[in-house]
Structure 1
C-alpha cells in the first residue's frame, strides 16, 4: 500500500534577531543617528543593539571630532553622548575646546564665529581658521587675508544665499557665508574662499561701520556703510566691476560727525538707523534711494539724540535699542519717540548686545553686569572697570 503523501516541511523563518549580535552591531555602524533611534523602538532585542557602546562611541567621534573619553562612568556610551549633548545645549562646557593662538604682539579685534570657521582681525590683516581642520591636524586650516592697507574697522558675515548675484558663472561650494570688511584705507572688501571678490571705494576717509544685515527683500541686496566723512553710502551687490565704482547706489548726507554704528529695522528692511559720534540718531528710508537721485538728497525720515557716548545699537522689530553713556534707550522707529530709558551703571557702559533668544552670555572680569527684559527682549549690559571685557550675546 502506498504511503500517504507528506506535506513538505517548511524551514523556520530567519529574522534579523537571529543574526549574531556582533554582526548586527557591525551593520548598525553604517546607520545614521536617526536610524539607530528608530531601530531602538522596534523591539527589545533591537533596542539592546541600538544601545551598544561601539555605536555611540562612533557618534561621539563624528559629532565632536574628538576621541571618546577614556575615563567615564559605567552608564554606557549612549548616556555619555546624551549628557554631553545636553550640556552643550545648556552652555555647560565641562571639557571646553582650548585653542592657543600666537598674536605676534598685536591685539585681536572683531572676532566672528560662523559654523566651524573663526575670523578675527589684527591691524590690516584678516585671519581665518577652520576649526575642523585644526582638530584633524590638517596643514591648511589657517589663512591670512592681506589686501587691506590700513586697520580694519568692521567685519560682517552674510549668508551666501543673499548675495548669489555676485557668483554668476561661478561654482558654489559648501561656503555658507561671505565675509565683508571695512578699513581705514577708505575701502570695503567682500571675501569668498580666501580671496577678495569685490572692492568698493567711495568714502572720503576711513570706513567705520557696516550694516548688520543687507537692505532690501528681493534679489537686489544693498550694503550700507558709514564713514569718517559723516556720510552713509549704499552699495549694490548686484553690480559689476572689480573696484566697485558702479556699485555705489546713493550717498546719504545729514550727519555732522563720523558715523560709528548702524542697524537695520526688523519690521521694515528698507529702514536704516545710524548714529554718529555726537550721539545723534537718524533713520533713513533707503527704498527711494536710487542712483538717479540727487547725490545730496536726504532720505532721512526720523531724527533724535541720546545722552552719552555711543556704545552699540540694535534693532528688534519696530524698536531701536541704543546704548550710550550709562543708559540704554528704547526708541519706537514708527514715531521716533523714546519708549523707555533705563539707567544701567555709572560712570559708563562698556559694551552692549541684544538677542531674541532665551540664551544670553555676558563675559567679563570682576565687574558687575545686569540683565534687563524689554518686551520679551533680553538686554545684556556691562559696566566699565579695569578688569572688564566685552559682553557677548548668543
Structure 2
C-alpha cells in the first residue's frame, strides 16, 4: 500500500526574504508605510533604514542632486523638512542675459517654464535649457504697447483643445495698453480679442462658469468689465465678446473669481470701490449684474478670492470681505507704511505681503 503524499506545504514569510529583495519591494512603499514597517521588528527596521531605499526616495524627489555615500535616510529627511519649511537653498543659479534694458513687469512660473514680460514683449524660457547648456529665449512680440497682465489657463477650457494628450497643457493670456488681449500657445498668438475702449488693465485669475462654455473677464481703463468666450473660433476673435458690464467710475485695476460660485466676479477700481458681478445675468439685464458693492481705504494692491471670502490688499492692510454679505470680516494683515505686494495660499492658509521698506 502506497503512502499518501504529505499535505504540509512550505510557506515563506516576509522575514525569510533577504535584505536585497526586501529593499527592492520597499521602494514601492510610501513614507508612512516605511515608518510602519520599521516598527514591526528589528530585521524589518534594518531594511527600512537601509541606504538603497532612501537613495530611491531621494532620487525620486531630487533627481539632479548629488548624493552622499551613506546616511541617506538622515539626508532625505533633513532635506524634506527643509523644503517644507522653506529653508532650502536654491539648487540652481543661472544668469539669463536679456538685451532689452527695460524692467521686468510680470513673471509666471509654470513647472519648468518661466514666462516674463518687458514692456510690450513676452519672453519664455525653460529651466531644463539651462541644465543642458542652452539659454534660448522665445520672444513673443505681437503686442504694440506695455503688457499689463499675464494669466495661465488650461488648454482644455479653450477651443484649441483637440485630444486628451493635451489635457495638462496651458495657454498664456496677456492684456496690453494696445487695447487688446492675446491668447498664446506653442510660441505663437492663436487669438486676439479687441473691443475695449482703451488700455486693458487686468484679467480674471480664473475662467468664469461651469462646463465647456468658459468665459474670461477683463477690466479696462474705461471703467468697464468685459466678458470674452475662449471657446469661440476664429483667430481675430470677432465674436468672442459676450457682454460689457458698466458701473465703475474709474479704471478697473484688479479682479478675482469667487471660490464658492464660479459665476461671481469681484472687481476693484482705482478709487478702491469693490463690486461683485453675477456674470450669468450679464447677457440679459446689464444693470442687475452688480450684486454687491463696498469700498476699502487706501490704493488697491491686489485681490484674491478664497471660497466665499475676498481678500483685498489696499493701503497698508489686507482685509477679508464676505461676498455673501459684502461686510468686512477681519483685518488679516497690516504692513506699515504701505503694502506693495500681496499673495495668498488658500490651502495653508498662508498670506505673504511685501512692503515699501524692501
Per the normalisation by structure 2, the TM-score is: 0.82
Aligned to 1:189: 182
Aligned to 1:303: 293
Listed as ranges, the gaps of 5+ residues in structure 2 are none
Quick one: structure 1 residues 285 and 62, their matched pair in 2 at CA, closer, same or farther if it must change by over 3 Å?
A: same
C-alpha displacement of 1:150: 1.9
Aligned to 2:243: 250
Q: Counterparts in 2 of 1:109-148, with a 5 A limit?
A: 109-135=105-131, 137=132, 139=134, 142-148=137-143
Verify: 1:89 aligned to 2:87, yes or no: no
Aligned to 2:96: 101
Aligned to 1:327: 317
Aligned to 2:173: 180
SS in 1 for 2:242: strand
CA contact (8 A) 2:319 2:329 kept: yes
C-alpha displacement of 1:170: 5.3
Between the aligned partners of 1:343 and 1:52, the Cα distance in structure 2 is 46
Listed as ranges, the gaps of 5+ residues in structure 1 are 361-378, 389-394
CA contact (8 A) 1:153 1:183 kept: yes
C-alpha displacement of 1:158: 2.1
SS in 1 for 2:122: strand
Aligned to 1:367: none
Between the aligned partners of 1:38 and 1:326, the Cα distance in structure 2 is 46
Q: Which residue among 331, 339, 355 is the counterpart of 1:383?
A: 355
Deviations 1:18-55 (A, max 9, x none): 99977x59x94996565995996798667656655355
Quick one: structure 1 residues 337 and 354, their matched pair in 2 at CA, closer, same or farther if it must change by over 3 Å?
A: same
C-alpha displacement of 1:382: 3.7
Per the normalisation by structure 1, the TM-score is: 0.75
Between the aligned partners of 1:39 and 1:345, the Cα distance in structure 2 is 45
Quick one: structure 1 residues 328 and 43, their matched pair in 2 at CA, closer, same or farther if it must change by over 3 Å?
A: closer
Deviations 1:246-276 (A, max 9, x none): 1111011122221110111222211111111
Q: Counterparts in 2 of 1:1-394, with a 5 A limit?
A: 28=24, 32=28, 34=30, 37=34, 51-54=49-52, 56-70=54-68, 74=70, 76-94=71-89, 96-104=91-99, 105-135=101-131, 137=132, 139=134, 142-161=137-156, 163=157, 165-169=158-162, 172-173=165-166, 175-290=168-283, 293=284, 297=287, 299-340=289-330, 344-358=334-348, 360=350, 379-385=351-357, 388=358
C-alpha displacement of 1:144: 2.7
The count of aligned residue pairs is 353
CA contact (8 A) 1:60 1:68 kept: no
The root-mean-square deviation of aligned C-alpha atoms, in Å, is 3.7
SS in 2 for 1:60: helix
Between the aligned partners of 1:32 and 1:207, the Cα distance in structure 2 is 51
CA contact (8 A) 1:40 1:48 kept: no
CA contact (8 A) 2:260 2:307 kept: yes
